[in-house]
Amino acid sequence: MAETTIKARLGKIVHRGAFRIAIYFGHQPQLQSWLKSKGCQWSRTHRCWYMDYSKESFLILKSYPAEWILPNGSKMETQVAGEESREIPPIANSEQRHPHTISSDKADHKPLNKAKIPSGLQILESVGKYWVFTMDYRQTVVRKLLAIKGVYWNKSYRAYMVIQHPKVREAVHRVLGKTDFLPEYTKPATSPKTTNLVIRIEVHRADSRMMQVHLPESIVFYDKIKRFSYSRYSKADDCYLLPAAPMVLESIRMLFEPEKVQIQLNLPKGYLQARNQPNRKQLDLSRSRSRMLDQVPPDKREVLETFIDFLLARNFSSSTVKNYSNAMIRFMRDTNREPDKMQEKEIIRYLAGIMSRGQQSASGNMMVNALKCYYRDVLKRTGWQLHLPRPKKEKKLPAVLSKEECVRIFKSVRNIKHQLILLLTYGSGLRVSETCNLRWGDIDFDTYQIHLKAAKGKKDRIVVLPLMILQSLQHYRGLQQRIQADDFVFEGQYIGEPYSSSSVQQVMRRAVAAAGISKHATVHTLRHSFATHLLESGTDIRYIQALLGHSSIKTTTIYTHLRSDKLTRIHSPLDSLKLDDQAS
């Protein structure tokens, strides 16, 4: 296949309170990898990659051999100023375009009243069992393409995906009016189940705590190895690396048992050690650290790395490390200056700027906490105090469901696992993270209690286990095989991973919609409802504080404002008035 020209469309957007260079392109893995290496960020809001709007950014883009197209259709090489100039080429604000639009050709703006053969067809590198291509948007052609079974639009790649099948290929060619656009269909190789497959496990000399896992060339095997929460791919060794622990080896045997694969173990005696098995906190922090360091350019990476090292040394939780680091990344990106060279007035001006753009007080307080931690604890400037104003918090009452609404939500869920998650969250007043990270060893079926370990604020606490779900929970445990005390009660998609919080939120959204409840209710609403219903039943507020794990009683007293049994007894004075029309 001939090498295709890399194309990308540039635009100008306002993101995070500053002008940015927006970069739009389809399925271009090489360009995406290069942009990430240059500190480019992905914007979910604008659905594009972006860089700072500066001369340096334009020079970086110009150094890459791609066809950079401006909104007016011209190439960037014709308008970008020379490296010695201080001018920045003007880029007009990007216009809203149809989601299927790939090219910036002016033909996109012509009336779509005739079915024309697309002129911007471009075949891209195949992905798995799919052919990938892009084209200029034509409404009638797109409708015919998407009507073909096996053809769909991929929003992530911004390209059309065609399953590799001769009949699908023929149908696509019929719509496009071409006969040789997609490559010739080749029959897939023999199924892995009919061949003698071998997985080789070798020593990893760079780190004795890891072992190399060499897999046969099969997408099925690659997809399965990714289910390990500890796996990572090594380009240098062309293999996957996993912790050199006996439990990991046993998991590999169980995972590939259906494929009748042979495990070839080329490890010396004593190489596998139980201590090499990483815990979840270590894995989460390691991933978060590398992910955040990739978000900043090389010249600012040392500042962020020093800040993260301090947070880890203080043994802050994973969420605190993420929140503080993300706030610091945003601060460096918005100010575009070295943090240690900024004065107090400049920092206060920056805080005033982000709050004037309508930021929530929680975001402003998080930024203040992160900056105070950096300037006060990391830099430790002698004789220099940072007095930053804190945004005033909004006093919002949490949403609460009635008991009848809770019953409707629970009955609308048919999946036993999903129903147990919601029942346990409400019945014990758990946070969504506490429900997902719950292990079988934390549940005491004899005393009907749950021991939550290292919850929010690194605090342990004891909560009640509802008697109503006791039998269902034991039945659910019996459905699983080889249950150990260290296993998660609600396992996720990958081995050794808990059920994700986002999946639980999605279950709750569907349940609320199925129950016909119009009010906004999330998983945390079940926790609010748990506290309110206990208060209504006469439970002492001190016990509720202990069950919820609140450090201050002031946090718990907010539920006293939500007691429906007291509010229903109060009548408005308007009800006691007799107006003239009513008297007559």
Active-site residues, by number, are: 431, 456, 524, 527, 550, 559
Q: Are 507 and 421 contacting, i.e. CB atoms less than 8 angstroms apart?
A: yes
Laid out side by side, the sheet with 67-69 consists of 41-43, 48-52, 18-24, 7-15, 67-69
Mode of pairing for the β-strands spanning 159-163 and 151-154 = antiparallel
Beta strands in 393-548 (DSSP E): 443-444, 449-452, 461-464
What is the SS3 string spanning 480-522? Answer: CCCCCCCCECCECCCECCECCHHHHHHHHHHHHHHCCCCCCCC
User: Within 10 A of 335 (CB to CB), how many other CB atoms are there?
Assistant: 17
* CB contact burial 285-313 (16+ within 10 A = b; e otherwise): beebbeebbebbbeebeebbeebbebbee
* CB contact burial 88-121 (16+ within 10 A = b; e otherwise): beebeebeeeeebbbbbeeebeeeeeeeeebeee
| Burial zone of 206 (CB within 10 Å; 0-12 exposed, 13-18 middle, 19+ buried) | exposed
H or E element that contains 124: strand 122-127
* CB contact burial 125-139 (16+ within 10 A = b; e otherwise): ebeeebbbbbbbbbe
The angle at the Cα of 206, spanning 202 to 211, to the nearest 5 degrees, equals 30
398 Cα distance to chain centroid: 25
Using only C-alpha atoms, the chain has a radius of gyration, in whole angstroms, of 29
CA-wise closest residue to 72 among 55, 98, 88, 92:
92
Total residues belonging to the chain = 584
User: Within 10 A of 263 (CB to CB), how many other CB atoms are there?
Assistant: 13
Q: Are 321 and 281 contacting, i.e. CB atoms less than 8 angstroms apart?
A: no
> What is the rounded distance in angstroms from the CA atom of residue 118 to the CA atom of residue 123?
13
Beta bridge partners of 69: 9, 75
Q: Are 52 and 59 contacting, i.e. CB atoms less than 8 angstroms apart?
A: no
Only one residue has tokens 């989601």, namely 99
> What is the rounded distance in angstroms from the CA atom of residue 34 to the CA atom of residue 325?
23
Mode of pairing for the β-strands spanning 262-265 and 198-203 = parallel
DSSP 78: G
